[in-house]
Chains A and B, each alone.
Chain A
Amino acid sequence: MYPEDPNEELDFHCAEMKAERIGLGDSEEQAERFSRAKMGNRTTTREEVYEMHPLECLEAFTRHLRFAVRTLARHKASYAMAIGILALGIGMSVAMFSLVDAVLLRPLPFLKQDQIEVIWKKDPLAGPVVEELAYPELRDLQESIKEFEAVALMPTTLYGYARVLSNGEAEPVQIESTPVSHDFFRVLGVTPAIGRDFSEEDEHPGAGPVVMLSDRIWREHFSSDASIVGRMINLNGQGYTVLGVMGRGVEFPRGVGMWVPLGVSKNVVERRGATFLQAIARRRPETSHQAITTAVNALFQRQIVDHPESYSKTQEAVVTALPEYWTGSARLHLWIMMAAALLLLLAAMIGAGNLFLSQILSRRWEIATRGALGASRRQIILQLAAESMVAAILASVGGLAIAHFMIRLLTRLAPPDIPRLGDAALNLESLCVAVGASVAAAMVCAVVPVWLVTDKHLESALREGGLRSSLSRSGARTKNAFMLAQAAVTMVLLTMACLLGLSYRSMMTADVGFANKDALTVNLVLRGPGLFSNMPGTQRYTRFLDRLRQEPGITSAGAVLVRPLEGPIGWDASYEFEFEGGGKEGKQLPKANYEVITPGYLRTVGTPSIEGRDFDEHDVEDGEAVAIINQSLAARIRASGYAAIGHRVKLRTGLRRDWLKIVGVVADARYRSITQTGMDIYIPFLQGGTVAYAAVRGTRPKAELLSTMRRIMAELEPGQALAGAATIGELEETNAARHRFNMVLLLWFAACAAVLAAAGVYGVIAGAVAERRREIAIKTALGAGRGQVVRDVTARCIGYVVAGEVLGMAGAVALARLGSDLLYGVSYSDPFVLGGSFAFLLLAAAISAWLPAWLATGSDPRSLLQSE
Chain B
Amino acid sequence: MAGDSKQVDLLQGTLNMMILQVLQQGAANGYEIAKFIEQRSDELLQVDHGSLYPALRRLEAKAMIKGDWRISPTKRKARYYSLTPAGKKLAGTEHSRWRTLVHAITRVMRPV
Contacts and interface: CB of A to CB of B under 8 A. Distances in A.
A16 B34 CA distance: 11
B49 A49 contact: no
A40 B49 contact: yes
B54 A48 contact: yes
Q: Which of B48, B57, B77, B79 has the most CB of A within 10 A?
A: B57
Contacts of B76: 12, 15-16
A9 B31 CA distance: 9
A41 B48 CA distance: 11
B77 A12 contact: yes
A9 B49 contact: no
Given A12-B72, A12-B76, A40-B49, A52 B31 contact: no
A38 B53 contact: no
A13 B61 contact: no
Contacts of B57: 3, 6, 49, 52
A52 B1 contact: no
Given A12-B76, A52-B61, A39 B54 contact: no
B30 A9 contact: yes
B31 A13 contact: yes
A8 B50 contact: no
A57 to B, nearest CB: 13
Given A9-B79, A12-B31, A45-B50, 12 more contacts: A8-B77, A12-B29, A12-B30, A12-B79, A13-B31, A13-B49, A15-B74, A38-B49, A45-B49, A49-B53, A52-B54, A52-B61
A52 B58 contact: yes
8 contacts: A12-B72, A12-B79, A13-B34, A16-B31, A16-B72, A16-B76, A19-B74, A49-B54
A376 B1 contact: yes
Contacts of B50: 39-41, 44-45, 48
Contacts of A692: none
A510 interface: no
A486 to B, nearest CB: 35
Interface in A17-60: 17, 19, 38-41, 44-45, 48-49, 52-53
A19 B31 CA distance: 12
Contacts of B29: 12
Given A53-B61, A376-B1, A10 B78 contact: no
A-B pairs with lowest CB-CB distance, top 9 = A16-B31, A40-B50, A48-B54, A13-B31, A12-B78, A45-B50, A9-B79, A49-B57, A39-B49
A41 B51 CA distance: 11
Contacts of A8: 77, 79
Interface string B50-93: 10011001100100000000001010111100000000000000
Contacts of B78: 9, 12
Interface residues of A, number: 22
A271 B77 CA distance: 107
B19 to A, nearest CB: 14
B48 A40 contact: yes
B58 A10 contact: no
Nearest to A39: B49
Contacts of A3: 57, 61
B54 A45 contact: yes
A48 B49 CA distance: 12
A376 B74 CA distance: 38
Given A8-B77, A12-B78, A17 B31 contact: yes
A3 B29 CA distance: 17
A16 B6 CA distance: 32
Interface in B32-55: 34, 48-50, 53-54
Given A19-B74, A40-B48, A376-B1, A9 B61 contact: no
Nearest to A41: B50
A41 B76 CA distance: 23
A38 B79 CA distance: 20
A17 B48 CA distance: 14
Contact of B74 (A16, A39, A41, A45): A16
B53 A9 contact: yes
B16 to A, nearest CB: 13
A739 to B, nearest CB: 58
Contacts of B49: 10, 13, 38-40, 45
A15 B74 CA distance: 10
Nearest to B60: A3
Interface string A61-96: 000000000000000000000000000000000000
Contacts of B48: 40
A45 B31 contact: no
A392 to B, nearest CB: 27
Contacts of A19: 74
A188 B30 CA distance: 76
A3 B54 CA distance: 11
Contacts of A13: 30-31, 34, 49
A359 to B, nearest CB: 27
Nearest to B34: A13
